[in-house]
Amino acid sequence: MELGFLLLSDHSESINGKIYAMGAGWNQLRFPELPYEFNFFIALGLDVPWDETNQQHTMTLHIEDPDGERLGDEFSLDFETGRPPGSVAGQDQRIVLSLGAHTAFSSSGPHAVVVKVGGEEIDRTRFYVMEMPPETLAQQ
């Protein structure tokens, strides 16, 4: 199983196999002070290999701080996808999701969204949290 894509965004929705996103694709958060509570969305596409369709799987997703400690919301979901009529033999099947997250960031540095399927990490996306004084933020 592979992560086809993962986008961090201000808002996203998954409708009919598509992601609709606003303020998407960032990898840096700048806050006037830490700790800082923040709401954001995680949009992702899981590519399920042909030979893993029609089977039950469990995906977990969590956010890690620079020390590898888990932060905020942790997601877990069971899923199964089939093979639609007319699929090309061997074709991956993509599952598209949008998840809302609420996290209190307390340290600067690299953070990560970690995705696991069946307990095995399949990918992670790194982003950076920075503490910047309000006057510095206003200049940008």
pLDDT at position 6 is 97
pLDDT at position 134 is 74
pLDDT at position 139 is 63
**CATH class of the structural domain 2-138:** mainly beta
Residue 140 has pLDDT above 70, yes or no: no
Instruction: Please state the rounded mean pLDDT for residues 88-106.
Output: 95
Q: How far apart are CA 73 and CA 51, in angstroms?
A: 31
pLDDT in tens, 64-94: 999 999 998 789 999 999 999 998 999 999 9
For the chain, what are the domain ranges?
Answer: 2-138
User: Do 138 and 19 form a contact (C-beta atoms < 8 A)?
Assistant: no
| Long-range own/partner contacts, residues 27-31 (CB < 8 A, 24 or more apart) | 27/125, 27/126, 27/127, 27/128, 28/127, 28/128, 28/130, 29/105, 29/127, 29/128, 29/129, 29/130, 30/130, 30/131, 30/132, 30/137, 30/140, 31/105, 31/129, 31/130, 31/131, 31/132
Residue 99 has pLDDT above 90, yes or no: yes
